[in-house]
A = this chain, B = another copy of it.
Amino acid sequence: MVHIVKEYDERKNEFLDTAMGLFMTQGYEQTSVAAIIQAVGVSKGAFYHYFKTKEDLLDQLSARATDQAMVAIHSILQDPALSAIERLNAIFTTTNAYKAENRDLVMTLLQVFYSDTNLILRYRLLEHNLQVLSPVIAEILHQGNAQGSMSVDYPEETAVFILRIGASLVEGIAKQLPLDPEDTEGVAGVLRHLNMYNQAVERIIGAEPGSLGLVDESIIRVVTGQS
């Protein structure tokens, strides 16, 4: 039984990895189910054993990526020593560090997702992330209200809002990528946007100025490739 489950997951992950590779090189819209089946080298029936449609595969792909990130985030949430502010900072720091460590993948994703042909792919990923992450952020905002370090009248709506504006920010920045490390003006512009986001979130949740550090130098390593 364990053996069968393992085989099931392995084949499914093989489909997901192959599809992701094709989406990144050819674009989501341009990749057919037939091309995915051909690249994996199995029968048509095998694909439809795992996925209803290409969109269903996409949903499962984004679910897998988010689930991986959520493992680290849940350990932050379960650390009783952290305050609400520390929790919020830790989630952003963990996410930033993950991006810095996987720079090539992140840069490829940014450039592919933010092309016009991949609007639907980007849109679905955002919606999925909102669903998974917003309850986590909302819980932290409630905690911050209780601890007196935040002042948020609508925690649930504000949580979705912070994530949506984060996505808006990334969208604005992604258009300027990749940045040459020598392009001092370009790097300064990205930093200005990131600092503005940090300050905006601080103000929206009513936290002390300077209490959030959502932006760290690992982000600059991502956008410039400096290490």
Answer whether residue A11 sits at the interface, using C-beta atoms and an 8 A cutoff.
no
Quick one: closest B residue to A172, CB to CB? Answer: B160
Min C-beta distance of A145 to chain B, whole Å = 14
Answer whether residue A161 sits at the interface, using C-beta atoms and an 8 A cutoff.
yes
Determine which of B123, B157, B168, B203 lies in contact with A165 in the assembled complex, contact meaning CB atoms within 8 Å: B168
Answer whether residue A195 sits at the interface, using C-beta atoms and an 8 A cutoff.
yes
Answer whether residue A164 sits at the interface, using C-beta atoms and an 8 A cutoff.
yes
Task: Write out, one digit per residue, whether chain A residues 64-91 have a CB within 8 A of any chain B CB (1) or not (0).
Answer: 0000000000000000000000000000
Q: Report how many copies the assembly holds.
A: 2
A contact residues, total (Cβ < 8 Å): 27
Answer whether residue A192 sits at the interface, using C-beta atoms and an 8 A cutoff.
yes
Min C-beta distance of A33 to chain B, whole Å = 18
Answer whether residue A10 sits at the interface, using C-beta atoms and an 8 A cutoff.
no
Task: Write out, one digit per residue, whether chain A residues 110-122 have a CB within 8 A of any chain B CB (1) or not (0).
Answer: 0000001001100
Task: Write out, one digit per residue, whether chain A residues 196-215 have a CB within 8 A of any chain B CB (1) or not (0).
Answer: 11011001101000000000
Answer whether residue A218 sits at the interface, using C-beta atoms and an 8 A cutoff.
no
Complex interface residues of chain A between 132 and 189 (CB less than 8 A to chain B)? 153-154, 157-158, 160-161, 164-165, 167-169, 171-172
Please give the residue numbers on chain A whose beta carbons come within 8 Å of chain B beta carbons, in ascending order.
116, 119-120, 123, 153-154, 157-158, 160-161, 164-165, 167-169, 171-172, 192-193, 195-197, 199-200, 203-204, 206
Could you list 9 A-B pairs, sorted by A, with CB under 8 Å? Answer: A116-B123, A153-B195, A154-B193, A157-B193, A158-B196, A164-B171, A203-B203, A203-B206, A204-B204
